[in-house]
Structure formats: C-alpha cells, structure tokens
Structure 1
Amino acid sequence: IWLVDFYAPWCGYCKKLEPIWHEVGVELRSSGSPVRVGKMDATAYSGMASEFGVRGYPTIKLLKGDLAYNYKGPRTKDDIIEFANRVSGPAVRALPSKQMFEHMLKRHNVLFVYVGGESPLKEKYNDVASELIVYSYFFSASEEIFPESVTLPELPAIVVFKDGGYFTYDEYEDASLSTWVNKERFQGYLQIDGFTLYELGETGKSVTENIDIQFGHMDGNDYINSLIMSEVTVPSVIILNTSNEQYFLPSEPIENMEQLVQFINSVLNGSAQSYGGDGIIQRIKRVAFDAKSTIMSVFRSSPLLGCFLFGLPLGVISLMCYGICTAESDDGLDDIDALKREGLTDEEGEEEEEEEEEERQRAADLQGPEEEEDDYVEEKDPEEKKTD
C-alpha cells in the first residue's frame, strides 16, 4: 500500500506540502503502519502521472491493490494520516462488543453500521463502503452491541450515528444507498471552509428540500466574498444553494431564533429574493471580481511587487503604442518633404506658373517696338525710288 504525492518542482503548493509530507512518512513508519510513503515528480514521469489521472498539483493518492483513492481533504499531517489509516484497512470493520462500539462512537463524529446477516443490502453496503471509505468509516455489528435506547424497525438495517442520535436507511423512502451515505456523512453543524463547501456541493445538498439543509459557520468572509462578489459584514447569516450557486440574504439583521426560522421558511417557500446563480454572466462577473481582488491583495501585501508585475507590462505596451504612432507621423513628414523637393506641391506650382507668365509678358514688351520700326523702313524705300 503506497501513499504517493504527485508534485511539480515549480508548484508553490507542493513546496508548502513538502515538510508536512516528510512528517507524515516519519509518523506512519514509526507507528508500524503498512502504508509506505513516497512522492513522484509528475513532470518528469508524465506518462505515469497520466495513467493515474493526475491533473493538478499536488495530487495525493493511496494505491491499494488495483484501486487508487484520491485524497481531497485539508493538507495537514493529522488529516492525511487519518486518511491513510482509514483507507488502508478493510472497507467494512467489525464491531465485536459494546465496549468497542462505545469507543468508536466517542472517537468518530459520524459512524455507519450495518446490522444483520447476509443479504442483498449488505452487498450494496460493502460496495458503497469501498467507494466512500475516503470520507468515513464503515462498520458491521450485531444488534446486541447497541444500548437499549437504540431500537431498529427491522433487520437487516443500516444505521448512522451522529449529533447525539441515530438515523436508519429506508430503501423505499430514501434515495440510493450511495446518495444517502454521501449526504449523511456530514454532521448537522459544521465548521465550513472552501473545501467543505465544495464537498457539500458534490453531495447535492440544496436548500430546496428541508431534509437537505446543512448548518455551519465560517471563520472570516474571504471565501464568501468571492462567491457573492461583495463585502460581507461579520457576523452575517447567508443561505447558499450549492446546486446552482444562488444565495439568499435576510432583509434585516437576524437577532433571535424566531427571525432565523422566518428567514429559512421564506427561502423554502420561495418568497425570499435570490441572488447570484451559475449563469454565464454571473460567471464572467465572478472571474472579474476574483481578478480584481487578487490584484488588490498583491498591492496591499507588497506594493513594489505589484508595481513590477502590473506596471512593467503596461509600460512596455505604452512604449509600443507610442512607437507605432510616432513612426506613422514621421512617414507623413518624409512624404511631404519629398513632394516639396520635387516641386509638386500646390503652392509652389502656382508660384512657378505666375513667374512664367511674368517672363512671357516682359518678353512681349521687349519685342513690340522693334517690329514697328522694321515696318516703317519697308514702306519708305519705294518712294525714295520714285523720287530718284
């Protein structure tokens, strides 16, 4: 059984995981776990990474026989070790005694138990356990290990223990066993972060059905700000529909339980105003908001780095635009100079025509008197001949 970290040398998240990964390997080895810990450069062995379906970095997988289980939880030492210990063991563990049942009930917040003998329901339970062991523990037991307060309507049965109570699976009223387990693996009230919210969305939990409402609290407002694209005041109550990313805000601040119940009922009966959604326009707005938030966070944390990252490209683009505009202006001036040198401009052409006209007029004035004198001489010669 191998627990493998598929990483990329240039990945910042991978570098952050590296010391934690070393601690995971040391603790699993010292505890005698059968799980061996390793890591693989997915960029150097891209074929192997592709074979295991690695699409992002870091990707953590537990390889057990022919099966590969993806880890999607928080990247902390305790959470990763808990995942390795859970998945490396059998999909369904036995609870042989009341003491063992009470011990597991204290240790785990959510506990799934199959009660009864061999049946088609048990086969379904084993299949679901093999699929969803990455999220929760699955046990099998006899009815005798439960306290007297636990009463089952019939056997075989599948029971989930959580929030100080228990619920049984009904093949006829509930959805498929996989869907039921996937929804019931969460406590009724959770500490919610971005990962948990994503997991809730994967289960199909929605505010449109009363039985699927999930309660929780979130520290800070960074994640929810990007979702609703505005600054959320703290504390605030928001109802989110994870199936279509719509959200609902109370019309006035909630100060008591009656107001909270009224707000929830208004969402359930459809009278509350909905916002957001997963339409194309909303997605574009969300991308623009995230980009703006990222830029602002960079400038707030490191103004010099922000000026370098965003100022340098803008400066290069500005210089390119200036160079293009300046080159066009110089070409125009060169063309005009060439035309002037060739004497083809309109002003110079008119001046040359005027000069030529003046020269022709002066030439005509100078030629006029000479022609009259010649005519006079030619008329005088015949008379002189007569007189002679």
Structure 2
Amino acid sequence: MKNRVLTMLLCLLVSIVSSSSSSSGGGEQSLTANGKVLELDESNFDSAISTFDFILVDFYAPWCGHCKRLSPQLDEAASILASLKEPIVIAKVDADKFSSLASKYDIDAFPTLKIFLHGIPVEYNGPRKADLLVRYLKKFVAPDVSVLDSDSAISDFIETAGTYFPIYIGFGLNESMISKLAIKYKKKAWFSVAKDFSEDIMVLYDFDKVPALVSLHPSYNEQSIFYGPFEEEFLEDFVKQSLLPLAMPINSDSLKTLKDDDRKIALTIVEDETDEKSKKIIKLLKAAASANRDLVFGYVGVKQFEDFTDTFGADKKTTLPKMVVWDGDDEYFSVIGSDRIDEEDQATQISRFLEGYREGRTTKNRLGGPSFIGFINSLIGIRTVFMIVFVVCVVMLIQTINKDEPPRDGTQDRTDRASSSDSEAKSKDYKSGDKED
C-alpha cells in the first residue's frame, strides 16, 4: 500500500514538472514585430528579449479575471506600438503554466507587466487602457534629450509627455549639460532643452532668467526651478529631489516608487486625506517640503490605507493627524512632544516637529504586525506557499501511511492484543466520565 501511494505521488510530481516545462507551441512562432501580441514560453523567451530592444511582457494566468480584461487592451495597443519608429513589442506568458519563468522574474500576482529594455526588466506601473498605455510606453523610445526650438514645440513636447512622469526643460541650457542625467534617469522622467522661446513661455513657467532648469509634475500641478550652479553634482541633486512631488500620497503604487529613493519619509497620518482639514495640512506639508529637500514628505489617510497606517500604531481610535519620520523599512521615529498636529497654528507645529527630529529628540519604533506579513510575502511568493503546503501534505500523508501500515515482523498478534487492551481501558474511562457528567 505504501509503495503504491508513493508511486502515485511521484507520478503526480513528474506530471507537474512536465506540464510546467512543456511548450504550448509558442516556440515555433516567428519572433517578428507584426503588430500582434507574441505568445512566449520557456523555449523562446530569452530569444525574444534579446531580439527586441523594447518589449512589454504580460505575465498572466488563464483563470485570472483581471488578465482577461487586460488582454484586449494589449491587443489594441500592440498594433500601434509596432508602427513606431522605434517599435515596442507586446508579449504574454502563461505564468501559471511556465512557472520557472514566473519564478525567475519574481511573479507572484496576476497580471504582472514588465518592460524589458535591451533585456533588462523594469516594473511597469503605468495605466492599462490601450490609449494611455501607448502614451506611457512612448517614453521609453523617446530621445534621451529632446531639443525644442519654438513655443509650439515646447507645448507639443509637454502634451506628448502626459502626466505619468516628471518633465525637465532646460531653458538656455546646452544639451550636453544634462545628457548624462537624462540617460541615467530615462526610466523615470522626460528631459528636454529649449533653444528658442518667447517671454510668454517665461511667464507661463514662472522663471525670470536663463539658464534655468524647470521641473514639472503635471499630475500634481507642481513645478520647481533651478538656477544653478550647473555642475553635475548640484544638477543631479535637483533632479533626484524633484522626481517626487512635494507632498506625496502614500498608496501601494507610490510605495514602489519610494523604494528607489534613499531619503527618509516625513509621514503625516490623517483620518481621511480627501477632507478639507487634510487638504489644508497637505498644503502646509508642501511648503515645508520646499525648505527640507533632504526628506520626502508623504501623507496617508486611515480611511484610504488602513493596513499601512496600522503598522505605525495609527487607527480610527488614534488622535490624528500624527507625524513620524519613517526610514522606508522597518523603523520609524516619533518626536517627543511634537508628534500630533492640533487645529491651531499647524505650520508652527510642523516646523517644531522637523526641528525636534533634526535635534534628535526622538524615540525609535519598529513597524507593527502587518508589515511582518508584507515582509514574508516579499520573501516568498504565492507559488512558494503552495509548494510548501503541498510538501507538508505529502509528509503528513506518508506519516499516516507509516502509522497505519501493519507490521511485517510477526508481531501482529501482540500488537492486536495491545490495541484491544488499550481500547477496553479507554472504553472504561469514557463510561466513567459519562457517569461523572
């Protein structure tokens, strides 16, 4: 019996491995940018990402509802992107079937989109409607630095850029002054230099002399201006600090962005970030951020992201607003006597909080329970969990078989007699217990 069950389990494992590594026929498909979504598998994936300079890959599962809704959007975008001067190819992988590819690229949710730029994967966090997806992806095939020679060229550039990336325009700057930074931060921002422009443009973008580097955040309606010194170190500091808005809403998408920033986060926790009281505080946070560029200023509402605020000991019963300085990992700092923002003179209270933090009048805290779950999830994906559960079940089944298997050394009679005696004793105890009840 035991050998038969073990044989069945081995067959099941072989079947799982075989189904994961089998090809769906995608390997025979010609890898050409024909305006259709390519189907990739383990046999042609590496070839695809080395053949095409720009390829967006959809890691999906056939049973996933979100994947099914995304599929026609990708089909529509594929034909448009293939016609660009620098074509962008869209492909898909059944990550549920080809699990080794899913594991290699840390896929633990569906659908997951990744852009492969010259073979290097970059997480895709942009829109998923066809027209917006096309606009977002055009960023990756645009020139490192666009040269603009008129007011209309500036307007067209900003229109093409859209709202998903910050935009840098160098007025009166030589292209070579920002080319290195444009290459370094190409995945995160648009870069351009304006060679010719009118005074109307100076008024529109609020700068009064040249050279000037203007940073725009269209989605937040924010802009910053840098007048120099135009040395690489100072330029990069400005670019890095301007990649994020002055006051950043904290959500699952923005947390991914923060991973690439090594600054600490001055985090304000409110009840509801959409109410008027919170909007007033957000405006004050932007003013504070302008004078404290070495910190990222963020805000989050308990109503909007309760699981996250719980990790800082803030819930619906906590007196809010509350300020902390978070290291972006497992620790945060409370400023002694200055972590709450009352109704009166909030600007002064924010200033006192920052002053107390810089003077070291703080207590160090560790994030609470939910962050631990997040940490575990970051180490092991859903597939790993399933495999662990499967292995545990197999071990338990084998132990059960070993326990129930009759002995083969001639001791069966003794075992039966012992079991019979145990059963009689238990029966007496059970009856005795009934009487006591």
TM-score (norm 1): 0.57
Residue 26 of structure 1 aligns with an amino acid whose one-letter code is: E
SS in 1 for 2:91: strand
SS in 2 for 1:215: strand
* 8 Å CA contact retained: 2:264, 2:328: yes
Structure 2 Cα separation of the partners of residues 6 and 188 of structure 1: 33
Structure 1 Cα separation of the partners of residues 82 and 106 of structure 2: 32
Cα 1:268–1:127 shift into 2, 3 Å: same
> Once the two structures are superposed, what CA deviation does each residue of 1:138-181 show, in whole Å capped at 9, x if it has no partner?
111126444155134x64x5432455543216458884645542
* 8 Å CA contact retained: 2:169, 2:193: yes
Are 2:91 and 1:39 aligned? Answer: yes
**Which residue number corresponds to residue 386 of structure 1?**
none
User: Which one of 117, 128, 133 corresponds to residue 76 of structure 1?
Assistant: 128
Offset of residue 22 of structure 1:
2.5
Residue 274 of structure 1 aligns with an amino acid whose one-letter code is: K
**Which residue number corresponds to residue 430 of structure 2?**
none
SS in 2 for 1:287: helix
Higher relative contact order (Cα pairs below 8 Å, separated by 6+ residues):
2
Are 2:107 and 1:56 aligned? Answer: yes
Structural mapping, 1:143-162, within 5 Å: 144-145=197-198, 146-147=201-202, 149-152=206-209, 155=211, 158-162=213-217
Offset of residue 223 of structure 1:
4.4
SS in 1 for 2:260: helix
**Which residue number corresponds to residue 79 of structure 2?**
29
**Which residue number corresponds to residue 221 of structure 1?**
305
Residue 255 of structure 1 aligns with an amino acid whose one-letter code is: E
**Which residue number corresponds to residue 184 of structure 2?**
131
Offset of residue 46 of structure 1:
8.8
* 8 Å CA contact retained: 1:3, 1:37: yes
Are 2:182 and 1:182 aligned? Answer: no
* 8 Å CA contact retained: 1:71, 1:134: no
Offset of residue 272 of structure 1:
2.9
* 8 Å CA contact retained: 1:113, 1:159: yes
Offset of residue 226 of structure 1:
6.2
Offset of residue 90 of structure 1:
1.7
Offset of residue 317 of structure 1:
6.1
Cα 1:11–1:177 shift into 2, 3 Å: farther
**Which residue number corresponds to residue 113 of structure 1?**
169
Are 2:110 and 1:20 aligned? Answer: no
Offset of residue 218 of structure 1:
3.1
Q: Kindly tell me the number of residue pairs found equivalent between the two proteins.
A: 300
Structural mapping, 1:237-386, within 5 Å: 237-249=322-334, 251-252=339-340, 254-256=342-344, 257=346, 258-276=348-366, 286-287=371-372, 334=414
**Which residue number corresponds to residue 383 of structure 1?**
none
Residue 139 of structure 1 aligns with an amino acid whose one-letter code is: S
Structure 2 Cα separation of the partners of residues 210 and 174 of structure 1: 21
SS in 2 for 1:211: coil
User: Which one of 261, 280, 283 corresponds to residue 203 of structure 1?
Assistant: 261
Cα 1:30–1:262 shift into 2, 3 Å: same
Are 2:59 and 1:7 aligned? Answer: yes
Cα 1:254–1:73 shift into 2, 3 Å: farther
Q: CA RMSD in A?
A: 5.0
Structure 1 Cα separation of the partners of residues 231 and 176 of structure 2: 20
Structure 1 Cα separation of the partners of residues 398 and 123 of structure 2: 49
**Which residue number corresponds to residue 378 of structure 1?**
none
Structure 1 Cα separation of the partners of residues 398 and 314 of structure 2: 36
Cα 1:143–1:174 shift into 2, 3 Å: same
Residue 60 of structure 1 aligns with an amino acid whose one-letter code is: K
Structure 1: 5+ residue runs without aligned partners? 293-309, 339-388
**Which residue number corresponds to residue 434 of structure 2?**
none
Structure 1 Cα separation of the partners of residues 92 and 68 of structure 2: 12
Cα 1:181–1:251 shift into 2, 3 Å: closer
Structure 2 Cα separation of the partners of residues 18 and 144 of structure 1: 47
Structure 2: 5+ residue runs without aligned partners? 1-52, 267-290, 378-388, 419-437
Cα 1:86–1:195 shift into 2, 3 Å: same
* 8 Å CA contact retained: 1:4, 1:62: yes
* 8 Å CA contact retained: 1:227, 1:286: yes
Structure with higher helix content = 1
SS in 2 for 1:147: helix
TM-score (norm 2): 0.52
**Larger radius of gyration between Structure 1 and Structure 2:** 1
* 8 Å CA contact retained: 1:188, 1:215: yes
Cα 1:42–1:320 shift into 2, 3 Å: closer
Deviates more, 1:230-239 or 1:193-202: 230-239
